[in-house]
Amino acid sequence: MMIKPFGMAAILLALAGCGDLNGQAQQNAQQAVPVSFVTLREQPVTLTTELPGRTSPYETSEVRPQVNGLIRARLFAEGDYVRQGQPLYRIDPAPYEAQAASARAALSRARAGVGASESLARRYGELVKINAIARQEYENAVAASRQTQADVAAQQAALRSVEIDLVRTTIRAPISGRIGRSVFTTGALVTAAQPEPLATIQRLDPIYVDIQQSSADLLRLREQIISGKLSSDGNARVRLRLETGSLYPMEGTLRFADVTVDPTTGSQTIRAQFSNPDGLLLPGMFVRAELVEGVKSSAILVSQRAVNRDERGRATVMVVGTGNKAELRTIKAARTVGADWLVTGGLRAGDKVIMEGAMMLRPGMPVNAQPWSPGNGRTANAQGK
């Protein structure tokens, strides 16, 4: 069959049109996706951890009577700051004053007997030399003299004991600090070494914060310091966040970690010390302590906004790979540092991590990569510019 010229021209035009469409589709498929990236670099990072804790007083003293008697007066206001040695209670001293007077009389009587017995022993000593008396009588006189001297010493001790009890009728503060409520009032009968204290004094400046941390975490921290992965000055700093969410204005210092692990919880107690000049911290308050663990000298940080999770829960990022093509990386990121992840595997210094545009990418797609700029209001990222 003969094809007419105008028919052949139409066919050629149709085929040319299909070729143009296929070329345009291929060009669109290979069009680079615009993305922004940051270049990773190693940098020193201070590692911290936040743990719950409770405040406890630096010193605590329960005030108890050391003698029996009736309380005649309370000499402080509840809640006041008391100083060491300050009178707190006065117990009726009359019985002890009477005992002291009796002890003084007994001491005077014992001292009076000393002179007579010593004089008799001296006379018998002269007489025994000339055999005027039996030696046994002389020895008896010497023994009697020594007995009277011993009686004097015993009476002196008895008087001293009574005088101590008399002094103890005024109960004084054993330490300086804030005194709580008075459990006993004027007129109450108290006894020496009674189980219930009259009041409790607590020294609140400085003050302790007892923090609970997993023994496994502490062991891991020690291993990292020993291996050189972390550096520590040996005087760890601690910051405190109060129940209201505000930050306590003063830094504390780590004092010690308990040498015993609680077998029921697997935790150790860490004690930190804080200055408390204004009395803002009170015993028993719940706080959160931020401990400075150490400094990692060559750390790599990746912004949390650049990290995603795959179907297996692994952390992944998109990087600009060879030939400006997107490359998926699986990374190890065990902890956060501020708004970043601390990366321990899967990335190295110099890698270009895609910050924006990664949601549109698949591995192998070409990208038009530009350095990321925090012009959208976000602060400059720690790992690169």
Q: Which domains does the chain have, with CATH numbers?
A: 48-58+204-296 (2.40.30.170), 68-92+169-196 (2.40.50.100), 93-168 (1.10.287.470)
At 13 the pLDDT is: 42
The string of pLDDT tens digits covering residues 186-197 is: 999 999 989 999
CB half-sphere exposure, 178, CA atoms < 13 A: 17
Does residue 384 register a pLDDT over 60? no
The string of pLDDT tens digits covering residues 106-151 is: 888 888 887 777 777 777 777 877 887 788 877 777 887 788 888 8
* Strands, sheet with 189-190, edge to edge from the N-terminal-most edge strand: 170-172, 87-91, 69-74, 189-190
The string of pLDDT tens digits covering residues 253-287 is: 877 776 777 778 777 788 889 999 988 999 999 99
At 11 the pLDDT is: 45
Question: What average pLDDT does range 76-92 have in this prediction?
Answer: 93
Q: What 8-state DSSP symbol labels residue 340? A: E
Q: How confident is the model at residue 229 (pLDDT cuts 50, 70, 90)?
A: low
Does residue 168 register a pLDDT over 60? yes
Residue 171 parent element (H or E): strand 170-172
Fill in the amino acid letter for 339.
A
Q: State both tokens at 260.
A: 């015993």
The neighbouring-strand residues paired with 336 are: 341
Judge if pTM exceeds 0.85: no
